[in-house]
Amino acid sequence: MARIREEGARTASARPYLRGAPLPRYHHHSPRSSGCHSRRSASSHLTLRRPSLRCAQRRRTRDSPRRRHFDVAVLSGGSSAGAIDRAAETRPASRQRYVRGARYTTIMSLEYATPAGYPDADSALVAALEAPMAEERRDVRRSEAGVLLDGVLATRARRKAAYDVAIGEYLAAMSVGARTLTFGYVSIGDYARERLGLNARTAQKQAKLARDLRERPALREAVWSGEVSPCKARIVMSLARGDAEASWVERAKTDTARGLAAAVKSLTGKTADEEEEPWELLSIPVPPEARPMVEEAMKVAGKQVGHTAPRWDRLDAIFQEFLGTYGGVEGAEESDGNFLHWPLPPPDDSVERLEEDLENETKRWVYLDEVQPVVAPHVADETNPWRIDAELRRLVAERNRCDEELGRVASVFSSLGLWRDAQFASFRQYCKERLGMGVRTVQQRIALERRLVMLPELRQAMRSGRISYEKAKLIAWKATGTTVKDWIERAAGKTCISLRREIEGEEEAQMWTRGWLEIPVPRHTIELFADVCKAARALARKPLTSRECFLWSVYQFLETWKCEAKERNTLRNRVMKRDLGYCQAPGCSRRAAHVHHVEFRSHGGADSMENEIALCAAHHLVAIHEGYMRVTGKAPDGLVWEIGLKPPRPEDLPDDSDRERTGCQ
């Protein structure tokens, strides 16, 4: 084993190395010269004992151009110990590495091996990785573990981004014309959610990014080569035009996402941050006698903003109607700051200042491993929807494997709070700057990973393709160890959108049983409700509870719109009410606009409830009447849908040479 002699004792008052503390004096004994190095030295210092992460190690290259560059980190132990030992045998003895933890004032020397093909060689380590128990966390060497997990996590994030760029290009091609109708879908969001298992909004953003990059060749080249992340590309997209494109591309290669967003805001006055709005749980007590009024108000709001509108969007309509009538009351803008049972925090830029300070103090985290750019996979210029679909499904399968490993590592990294040791102000800043991802995206993947640990049958169903990632997110929080198999069977026989609507209906019924209105809402809905409470209290000129303010806004909304929302008792309206205003085509998320005769009236079809269904305009006028799909049977439960009436020709399908394409490089 390597021999170590310390001159500086580790003390609690010593400043961490990450903050730029001077290195202590030390004596170095080379294991190569003393003959102490062996395969055992690589595994004796680094152990991974399941289920706890005991030790991690990072190395600093002596010949690195940057003195604080740690380029490789390795875990050994468990099922991966043999792989590390075999790699150590192939390591050239001339390469000398140094090990140093960010929180330790001791430098040690150790010779080790870098596994060939680093992005793939550490998959066994990721598979063996598990978060330590609470009583074991004090034994974790945080600095070494942070550098190790950060390197693996950043590599996985860049590979995932490369796949997302290629997927976005194919999604943009699929969205041209009626290509999605070949598979029975009228929008790229429905196609991605039901056929690929991708989030509909994420797919739309990826396709939009691909279309915008086509107008900016320099930025497109930088994104495809991996030098600029998609997150940074979206930030500078509005200004990277014409002659200014080259300068913004060069700036995006070196500047941080925070710096780019600040520069864009200073020039345009608009926030270029792509981060999603934070969500919170709005909880309001509703007495049983007020429940019918609230339910009626939500239905009326749905008729105004759309039957497919989520519940938080309907609440926005109710609150905005109240503020439009009473928001100008004298004293409505004055408040004691109390809202519900906690005060709304005032606007504060302290987090932004802290992020900027840490960015400057750490010189943009120069001590972290420099992760090499990952080139996006090759994308052919295809116009055939069947070939585009085959390539998309192949890329999504590879992306899902990378995404699963990312979630596993991010779960351990986040649970240990290692982003603090890396000197980031928050996990949000770490995700944005280091991973190039939104914090909500990473947190959702972490939450799913933790549920998959408890539900191994659900993980196996995802890996086998029986259920998609989107379906797994829906049932992960509903299933238990005893009901997970039933949930998998239930999800396998339904579309993702119908499964989501069923779960939302069950949750709403349970919510009313508890006597509380509990709805996850974006931050702006919370602020709207705060303004409603201010206006109501100013109008009443006395203190009101949040429940009283909410019920007042609901009553005022019904008084305004209930008469307007009345409908005639016609056959069309009865069909719409039976189908809840949704398009009945499989996988469609749009609101219904037309009523379709299952058996055409020209073929003798009757005007009856059994022969009419609600459809969106695209499915009715294009998908069915132009021959992309067919529906037969009796509504509502006896319908038979035939999709893909225009089957592919042999030359439309990809051959073996098309499948053997180069992945991320």
What is the per-residue pLDDT for 476?
93
Tens of pLDDT, residues 389-435: 999 999 999 999 999 999 999 999 999 999 999 999 999 999 999 99
586 neighbors 495 (Cβ within 8 angstroms): yes
140 neighbors 641 (Cβ within 8 angstroms): no
What mean pLDDT do residues 305-324 have? 92
Structural domain contains residue 452: no
Residue 235 has pLDDT above 70, yes or no: yes
Q: C-alpha dihedral over 98, 99, 103, 104, to 10 degrees?
A: -80
Average predicted confidence (pLDDT) for the chain? 78
Residue 308 banded pLDDT, cuts 50, 70, 90: confident
Structural domain contains residue 1: no
What is the per-residue pLDDT for 121?
60
What mean pLDDT do residues 120-127 have? 72
Domain boundary among 523, 538, 561: 561
For residues 553 and 578, state if they share a domain. no
Domain boundary among 541, 561, 581: 561
For residues 49 and 119, state if they share a domain. yes
Number of domains in the chain: 3
Share of the chain above pLDDT 70, in %: 75
- The number of residues making up the chain comes to 665
SS3 422: coil
What is the per-residue pLDDT for 328?
67
Instruction: Tell me the C-alpha to C-alpha distance, in Å, between residue 3 and each of 41, 46, 144.
Output: 11, 15, 19
Residue 568 banded pLDDT, cuts 50, 70, 90: confident
| Higher per-residue pLDDT: 91 or 537 | 537
Which residue is it, tokens 């750490």? 362
Helices (H) and strands (E) in the chain, counts: 28, 12
Cα atoms in the 13 Å half-sphere on the side-chain side of 268: 16
Structural domain contains residue 94: yes
What is the per-residue pLDDT for 273?
53
Residue 529 has pLDDT above 80, yes or no: yes
What is the per-residue pLDDT for 329?
62
Residue 279 banded pLDDT, cuts 50, 70, 90: confident
Residue 476: what are its φ and ψ, rounded to 5°?
-60, -35
How far apart, in whole angstroms, are the C-alpha atoms of residue 14 and residue 105?
8
For residues 46 and 101, state if they share a domain. yes
Residue 59: what are its φ and ψ, rounded to 5°?
-125, 145
| Higher per-residue pLDDT: 401 or 6 | 401
Structural domain contains residue 607: yes
Most confident segment among 16-20, 113-117, 176-180: 176-180
What mean pLDDT do residues 523-527 have? 91
Structural domain contains residue 22: yes
What is the per-residue pLDDT for 407?
93
| Higher per-residue pLDDT: 226 or 78 | 226
Structural domain contains residue 398: no
28 neighbors 107 (Cβ within 8 angstroms): yes
Instruction: Tell me the C-alpha to C-alpha distance, in Å, between residue 482 and each of 70, 323, 395, 455, 487.
Output: 46, 48, 34, 10, 10
Count the neighbouring beta carbons within 10 Å of the beta carbon of residue 230. Answer: 21
Structural domain contains residue 172: no
SS3 460: helix
108 neighbors 28 (Cβ within 8 angstroms): no
| Higher per-residue pLDDT: 334 or 151 | 151
Tens of pLDDT, residues 239-278: 999 999 999 999 999 999 999 999 998 888 776 555 567 8
For residues 25 and 114, state if they share a domain. yes
For residues 618 and 518, state if they share a domain. no
Most confident segment among 260-274, 328-342, 575-589: 575-589
Residue 496 has pLDDT above 80, yes or no: yes
For residues 26 and 94, state if they share a domain. yes
For residues 101 and 52, state if they share a domain. yes
For residues 46 and 124, state if they share a domain. yes
Partners of 338 in beta bridges:
343
For residues 79 and 112, state if they share a domain. yes
What is the per-residue pLDDT for 656?
53
Structural domain contains residue 115: yes
Residue 142 banded pLDDT, cuts 50, 70, 90: confident
What mean pLDDT do residues 574-594 have? 93
Instruction: Tell me the C-alpha to C-alpha distance, in Å, between residue 450 and each of 311, 341, 404, 418, 439.
Output: 28, 31, 11, 18, 16
619 neighbors 582 (Cβ within 8 angstroms): no
What is the per-residue pLDDT for 128?
77
For residues 552 and 637, state if they share a domain. no
What is the per-residue pLDDT for 146?
87
For residues 44 and 111, state if they share a domain. yes
Residue 292 banded pLDDT, cuts 50, 70, 90: very high
What is the per-residue pLDDT for 663?
56
Give the relative orientation of helices 469-476 and 439-454 as an angle to the nearest 10 degrees. 70
Tens of pLDDT, residues 66-109: 333 333 333 333 333 333 333 334 334 433 333 333 333 322 22
**Domain encompassing residue 505:** 279-347+491-561
For residues 534 and 587, state if they share a domain. no
What is the per-residue pLDDT for 129?
82
Residue 322 has pLDDT above 90, yes or no: yes
